[in-house]
């Protein structure tokens, strides 16, 4: 193996997973996700809510605004900004809706991105490995899931 290839693999820890058949990879992630989240309590961490912010879809904005008895425009003006990609995101982090006890005050109506985080339960893992690689730096559960997946597909 050339130095260049070794460096590439070292720089991209999930690169090896791209060689796994998609269905096998999806199954490995689904099993690992279920095992890890059966034991992991997100309320002990909440690092995702403290350090990053989700994208807000139009549906998220409407649903959350209704829950807060606000108009969508007022919700957007109060809590969101448009990022460099043209997406609605939180004005600041940690998340405005995160309580001191790490509970979300809008949990039942939280954004889709929050409901799906860290995305390790989703199908088509091949297509989101770049996202998973970012998430393992934020979410200890995602890191454990990836470790289990790596062991399972060896």
Which tens digit of pLDDT belongs to each residue from 105-119?
Answer: 999 999 999 999 999
Residue 90 and residue 77 in contact, taking contact as beta carbons nearer than 8 Å? no
Burial of 67 (0-12, 13-18, 19+ CB in 10 A): middle
Q: Given this model, what pLDDT does residue 12 score?
A: 59
Q: Given this model, what pLDDT does residue 15 score?
A: 81
Domain boundaries, the chain: 20-50+117-154, 55-111
Q: Given this model, what pLDDT does residue 19 score?
A: 87
Q: Given this model, what pLDDT does residue 6 score?
A: 37
Q: Given this model, what pLDDT does residue 18 score?
A: 86
Prediction pTM value: 0.83
Low-confidence ranges of the chain (pLDDT < 70): 1-13
């Amino acid at each position: 193996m050339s130095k260049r290839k070794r460096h590439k693999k070292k720089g991209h820890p999930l690169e090896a997973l791209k060689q796994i058949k998609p269905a096998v990879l999806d199954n490995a992630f689904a099993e690992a996700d279920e095992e890890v989240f059966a034991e992991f309590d997100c309320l002990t961490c909440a690092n995702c809510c403290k350090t990053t912010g989700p994208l807000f879809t139009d549906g998220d904005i409407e649903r959350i605004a209704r829950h807060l008895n606000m108009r969508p425009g007022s919700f957007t003006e109060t809590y969101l900004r448009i990022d460099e990609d043209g997406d609605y995101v939180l004005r600041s982090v940690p998340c405005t809706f995160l309580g001191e006890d790490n509970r979300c005050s809008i949990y039942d109506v939280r954004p889709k991105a929050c409901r799906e985080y860290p995305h390790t339960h989703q199908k088509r893992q091949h297509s989101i490995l770049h996202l998973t690689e970012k998430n393992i730096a934020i979410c200890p559960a995602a890191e454990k899931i990836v470790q289990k997946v790596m062991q399972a597909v060896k």
